[in-house]
């Protein structure tokens, strides 16, 4: 008797849970199927058709991100037909909009002209800011295609820079819809949607207003999921290339949730932050502070030594002098008013270990139980 819930992918049998898509079964078993529009945790839309596979008995190629696995289904993920379809999809995407990276214009003769043209359009002195960190570019290399086979279509929409965090470059948008799903289904902010129709289609906020005049809360989820250079951090744009940075994993220090994030570090300076995907508690999502609030790290206004206020003015002092003064004053207050006249507030922005030390110091040294924490205030 045939076993239940078995799918055959590229000649190998895999079991699957009811409801799993072909893509999910493939990924779970390390079979690589490329995707562009697919966003884990969101409803599959089947918008880009990059993930198509051949299913025996099906009349046409099937979008594996949206098609459920079925018992005894026979799937081929890299057949000639599949590769031909993916190449076509990629060529069409590359020819729509401004994709001024190495994947366009391999004709040689028009390469320089093309680059100059797109740089002028972009009002920049360099190639696309995400060159080297772009899913479309990766796939173009993988399937060895360019946008040259089709007439290039340009977007009528101007770049939007009217906010401090995110540049929206509609000329590079491939309308995969990941940003819309991220905003609506993952963050549930419902700030952006598809607007207009046909060639005029655009991702819009608040009836086509800039992000800054919409319900956008600048969580940056859309930016993190955009597979191309259509949504880019404003600060790092053109200042940093992905291969120049080191990714350092850490825990966000803004609140007690403990979101996991990557600091992108160049020359000992944090130049970008994104969420670590697939790990708790945030699974890649961040809030505006965690994602964009890092300029304080290198601010020249940060205190670098203790200050003592004397006659209304601050004086820089050594740690020894500062701690001696604090210890002496605590001693005086305790002697005069008793231990319970002192209270200590610690912070959700420090580690558990530091909070432990704060309460130990309060109870064992100051001899009071007056200790609390900003997360409860």
- Residue 231's binding partner out of ligand SF4, ligand FES, none, with CB under 5 to 8 Å set by partner kind: ligand SF4
**By the 8 A CB rule, do 165 and 288 touch?**
yes
Q: Does 264 bind ligand SF4 (CB under 6 A)?
A: no
Is residue 219 helix, strand or coil? coil
**By the 8 A CB rule, do 206 and 215 touch?**
yes
Shortest Cβ distance from residue 129 to ligand SF4 (Å)?
A: 7
Is residue 353 helix, strand or coil? helix
> Which one of 49-57, 69-77, 216-224, 257-265 is the stretch in contact with ligand SF4 (CB under 6 A)?
216-224
Interface contacts to ligand FES, rule CB under 6 A = 35-38, 46-51, 63, 65
For 338, counting Cβ atoms within 10 Å of its Cβ (0-12 exposed, 13-18 middle, 19+ buried), the class is: exposed
Region 82-121 residues binding ligand SF4, contact defined as CB under 6 A: 99-101, 103
- Residue 16's binding partner out of ligand FES, ligand SF4, none, with CB under 5 to 8 Å set by partner kind: none
Element (H, E) at 225: helix 221-225
CA distances from 328 to 336, 340, 365 (A): 12, 17, 13
Question: Quick one: 217 or 344, whose CB is closer to ligand SF4?
Answer: 217
Shortest Cβ distance from residue 17 to ligand FES (Å)?
A: 19
Shortest Cβ distance from residue 205 to ligand SF4 (Å)?
A: 6
How long a stretch of residues is the chain?
377
Q: Which of 26, 192, 232, 259 binds ligand SF4 (CB under 6 A)?
A: 192
* CA–CA separation, 140 and 106 (whole Å): 12
- Residue 35's binding partner out of ligand SF4, ligand FES, none, with CB under 5 to 8 Å set by partner kind: ligand FES
- Residue 63's binding partner out of ligand FES, ligand SF4, none, with CB under 5 to 8 Å set by partner kind: ligand FES
Shortest Cβ distance from residue 344 to ligand SF4 (Å)?
A: 37
Q: Does 221 bind ligand SF4 (CB under 6 A)?
A: yes
Phi/psi-derived region of residue 21, left when phi > 0, alpha when psi is between -120 and 50, beta in every other case: beta
What DSSP assignment string belongs to 22-69?
HHHHHHHTT-----SS--TTS-----S-TTEEEETT-SS-EETTTSBP
Q: Does 217 bind ligand SF4 (CB under 6 A)?
A: yes
Residue with tokens 């996991």: 260
CA distances from 245 to 210, 241, 277 (A): 30, 7, 18
Q: Does 73 bind ligand SF4 (CB under 6 A)?
A: no
Which residues on adjacent β-strands are paired with residue 264? 247, 272
Contact string 141-180 vs ligand SF4 (x = CB under 6 A): -------------------------------xxxxxxxx-
Q: Which of 34, 44, 105, 229 binds ligand SF4 (CB under 6 A)?
A: 229
- Residue 272's binding partner out of ligand SF4, ligand FES, none, with CB under 5 to 8 Å set by partner kind: none
* CA–CA separation, 259 and 290 (whole Å): 8
Shortest Cβ distance from residue 217 to ligand SF4 (Å)?
A: 5
Shortest Cβ distance from residue 178 to ligand SF4 (Å)?
A: 4
- Residue 216's binding partner out of ligand FES, ligand SF4, none, with CB under 5 to 8 Å set by partner kind: ligand SF4
């Amino acid at each position: 008797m045939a076993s239940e819930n078995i799918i055959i992918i590229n000649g190998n049998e895999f079991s699957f849970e009811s409801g799993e898509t072909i893509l999910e079964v493939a990924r779970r078993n390390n079979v690589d199927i490329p995707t562009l529009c697919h966003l884990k945790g969101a409803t599959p839309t089947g918008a880009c058709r990059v993930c198509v596979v051949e299913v025996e008995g099906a009349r046409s190629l099937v979008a594996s991100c949206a098609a459920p696995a079925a018992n005894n289904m026979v799937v081929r993920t890299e057949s000639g037909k599949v590769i031909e379809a993916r190449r076509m999809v990629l060529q069409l995407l590359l020819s729509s909009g401004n994709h001024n990276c190495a994947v366009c214009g391999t004709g040689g003769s028009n390469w320089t002209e093309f680059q100059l043209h797109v740089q002028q359009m972009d009002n920049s002195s360099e190639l696309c800011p995400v060159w080297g960190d772009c899913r479309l570019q990766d796939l173009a290399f993988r399937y060895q295609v360019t946008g040259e086979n089709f007439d290039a279509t340009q977007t009528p929409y101007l770049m939007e820079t009217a906010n401090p965090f995110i540049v929206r470059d509609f000329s590079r948008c491939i309308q995969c819809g990941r940003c819309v799903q991220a905003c609506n289904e993952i963050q549930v902010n419902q700030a952006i949607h598809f607007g207009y129709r046909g060639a005029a289609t655009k991702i819009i906020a608040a009836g086509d207003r800039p992000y800054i005049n919409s319900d956008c809360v600048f969580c940056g989820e859309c930016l993190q999921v955009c597979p191309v250079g259509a949504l880019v951090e404003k600060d790092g744009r053109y200042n940093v290339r992905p291969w120049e940075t080191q990714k350092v994993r850490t825990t966000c220090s803004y609140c007690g949730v403990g979101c996991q994030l990557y600091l992108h570090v160049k020359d000992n300076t944090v130049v970008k932050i994104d969420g670590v995907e697939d790990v708790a508690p945030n699974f890649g999502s961040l809030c505006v502070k965690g994602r964009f609030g890092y300029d304080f790290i290198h601010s020249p206004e940060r205190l670098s030594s203790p200050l003592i206020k004397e006659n209304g003015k601050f004086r820089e002092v050594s740690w020894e002098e500062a701690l001696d003064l604090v210890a002496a004053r605590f001693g005086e207050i305790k002697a005069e008013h008793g231990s319970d006249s002192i209270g200590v507030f610690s912070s959700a922005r420090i580690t558990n270990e530091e909070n432990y030390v704060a309460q130990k110091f309060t109870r064992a040294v100051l001899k009071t139980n007056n200790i609390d924490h900003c997360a409860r205030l």
